[in-house]
A and B are shown apart, each in its own frame.
Chain A
Amino acid sequence: MKKLLNNKNTRSNLVIYLVVTVFFLVMQGMNMGGMLTSSWKGFLVPICVYISLAVSLNLLVGICGELSLGHAGFMGIGAFAGIVVAALLQDAVALEPLRLFIAMIVGGVLAGAAGFLIGIPVLRLRGDYLAIVTLAFGEILKNIVGNLYVGLDAEGVHVSATSAKFTLLEGGKMILDGPVGATGIKKLATFPMGFVLVLITLFVVLNLVNSKEGRAIKAVRDNRIAAESVGINVTAFRMKAFVVSAFLAGMAGALFGLNYSSMAASKFNFNTSINILVFVVLGGMGNILGSVISATVLYVLPEALRSLEDYRMILYAVVLILVMLFTWSPRVKEFVSVVTDKISGIFKKKEVETNG
């Protein structure tokens, strides 16, 4: 046990679980005690969703070094699959958390399948070309998901890609209505389920990262050719990372979809993908705890700025640029280190550390 605790990886993992659990307990406690404002109650589930999305994207971007610009596409598949499954199981599964969980699993599996599809071109491409393919794939997914018509009536389930001949029997229910999306969704998402999702995501990603495979993946990121030359099967690992990442994004998407009473496919566009990417980059590439914190902070930040009215989004943009400059720019870094050195010697050690 002592040995285990001395292991650096295990220790830092424990810190992550601890931070997340404490956050959950505090929030849940405040929620039960009626101490949270309506706004904060509304943030709880989306924060969990975005943490999960950021961590799963970090697996691709930070750990594997593959820039993906289509993460929202997987989220969208998960969301709509989850909504449809939850609607179909409305009568069959009475227990709501169970129905939600089934919906999340199905959403994850479908998104994972899409991740496998995208994995095929990924095997041939890298760098910015890969980025554009993920962008394109995300747009395709959004376009297809946004043109599905799914309805349920006495005859059974109807699925179509056009609205032209789509008619339901009397008393039938439209689940997905093409680009308009789903309306009248029964909200199932809960904060505890969001916590479970975050735990699952962390467990899967951290285990993958710290496994033998994870080290291989990192070797591939740092020097692909060298990794290949010592016999690491690059292709298989990249594929695995894509599928796992898409699966987790799908689960998060399902939870997200079932947290709102209406959902349109246009939500899962390029901007959403970029937002998740911003969480990852600001949190630090490959830094899981960083993703968790930055997803939380950056989700709340624009909301906390509401009192600024018209200047809200422009200020958000400025904060984004400044944070990037402060964390990355060598010149600004130098300046900051001079200042902090003067204040105290605590920060002196940091230059020795490698940033990752």
Chain B
Amino acid sequence: MKKFTALMLAMLMVMSLLAGCGSSKPAADASTIKIGMSGPLTGGAAVYGKAVEAGMKIAVEEINAKGGLKIEFQSQDDEHDGEKALNAYNNLKDWGMQFFAGAVTTAPCLSIAPTAVEDNIFMMTPSGSSDKIPMTGNNIFQMCFTDPNQGASAAELVAELNMAQNIGIIFDNSDDYSKGLMNGFKTKAAELGLNIVCETNFTADNKTDLSTQVTQCKDAGCDFVFLPFYATEASQVLTQAAKIGYEPTFFGCDGMDGVLTIEGFDKSLAEGLVLMTPFNPDAPETQDFVSKYQAMMNGETPNQFAADGYDVIYAIYDACVAAGVDGTTAPSDACEMLKTYFATNEFSGLTGSGMTWDEQGMISKIPAAVVIENGKYVALG
């Protein structure tokens, strides 16, 4: 039997060798630029990868329908894992990628970014928000807010509107995004003299049950709870709080966008929730995108991730058109041209207008906050 196993394994090996080496690069076509993306398309974080992928596909379809410079787009699964992310990136390179529009989550971004710097491939992450990502090199750009900046502006907003007496914080200790926001918030809150009375956390491994953390905030008498994490966990916190009759002001950041569209979630629990988000699916100027997204994703309402993905494709496309990059430009040359372009030009899209990037690739855009009233986003302040 051993022989048979060995034989079969060997056969599989040959097959995969062929699959790995056989893909030769097709000749570059001047009219088509190649944009690659990686994100978690399977596993626990797949929801973010899928949203970004769909947003990007919508942008690609729109652009290709316009005529002129076309885009060939490919997305690869990185399972929200640094090791797989690098494999995905290499796979895209073999395909002939000129621009890397990823990764979606922070850990894969940090794994890929140094390689992208070495290769001098232009990388713009739609949603990897750690400040460490753009700091890796000056060809690494960001579309979303940088965490500490967003945390700080959250604290400023709280102080300005006098929203809180006793502040509680629950954060995800295993998540760079959550910790970045929390640190930014705490530092600014200390400056502004805000009173933080309870600070508790969870990690990816024990986030199934958040009742302990909610109870801790309740016991500490918090009338305001800062929740710097994603919509899924937020829906748990809100449900848990409602169960034990705890009603402070909950405050979230851009990752919480999408809380209203979680299937099966009782929207009334989110009434009064304040969150900072650059993208408002209820605003008139986003309706075209929302309906296209819904058509593509079985009626789901897009969140900030999808909008960021959409914007990244347009930002790269606009820059390519303006700087004269086409399908035959070598990735490294294209990278230099785009860097020069973004140094002086601004971009307006779904997630804000007049966005600019500094020489590190860090974005500056105006933060906006909304409060949920009657199941809709209403601009705050």
Contact = CB atoms under 8 A, between A and B. Distances in A.
A36 B93 CA distance: 12
Interface stretch (A59-67, A176-184, A197-205, A234-242): A176-184
Given A38-B90, A179-B173, A180-B179, A263 B82 contact: yes
Interface stretch (B11-19, B54-62, B209-217, B366-374): B11-19
A301 B16 contact: yes
B131 to A, nearest CB: 11
Interface string A321-356: 001001100000100100010000001001001011
Contacts of B82: 260, 262-264, 267
Determine chain B's interface SS by DSSP, over half rule.
helix
Interface residues of B, number: 48
A326 B6 CA distance: 12
Contacts of A313: 42
Interface of B: 1-6, 8-10, 12-13, 15-17, 19-21, 23, 41-42, 76-77, 81-83, 86-88, 90-91, 93-94, 107, 110-111, 113-115, 132, 136, 173-176, 179, 203-205
Contact of B16 (A283, A284, A297): A297
A96 to B, nearest CB: 16
Given A37-B23, A39-B91, A261-B111, A304 B15 contact: yes
Given A178-B173, A260-B86, A293-B10, A300 B114 contact: no
A13 interface: no
B23 to A, nearest CB: 7
Interface residues of A, number: 59
A264 B107 contact: yes
A68 to B, nearest CB: 20
A350 B3 CA distance: 8
Contacts of A283: 9
Interface in A237-282: 260-264, 266-267, 269, 282
A92 B93 CA distance: 36
Contacts of A129: none
Given A39-B20, A303-B91, A313-B42, A179 B110 contact: no
13 contacts: A41-B90, A42-B90, A179-B173, A179-B174, A179-B204, A184-B136, A260-B83, A289-B6, A294-B9, A300-B13, A300-B20, A347-B4, A355-B1
Contacts of B5: 282, 284, 290, 327
Contacts of B91: 38-39, 303, 306
Interface string A214-233: 00000000000000000000
A144 B82 CA distance: 20
A40 B21 contact: yes
Given A303-B87, A309-B41, 5 more contacts: A42-B86, A179-B203, A183-B132, A284-B5, A297-B13
Contacts of B16: 297, 300-301, 303-304
A262 B110 contact: yes
B8, B81, B90 interface centre (most CB from chain A within 10 Å): B90
A281 B82 CA distance: 26
Nearest to A142: B205
Interface string A13-53: 00000000000000000000000111111110010000000
Given A261-B113, A290-B5, A333-B1, A39 B174 contact: no
Given A300-B13, A301-B12, A326-B8, A37 B21 contact: yes
Instruction: List 8 tightest A-B contacts by C-beta distance, closest first.
Output: A179-B174, A304-B16, A262-B110, A38-B90, A304-B19, A261-B114, A38-B93, A42-B90
B111 A260 contact: yes
A282 B4 CA distance: 12
A296 interface: yes
A264 B132 CA distance: 15
Contacts of A46: 83
A187 B173 CA distance: 26
Contacts of A183: 110, 132
A310 interface: yes
A40 B94 CA distance: 10
Contact of B20 (A37, A181, A266, A312): A37
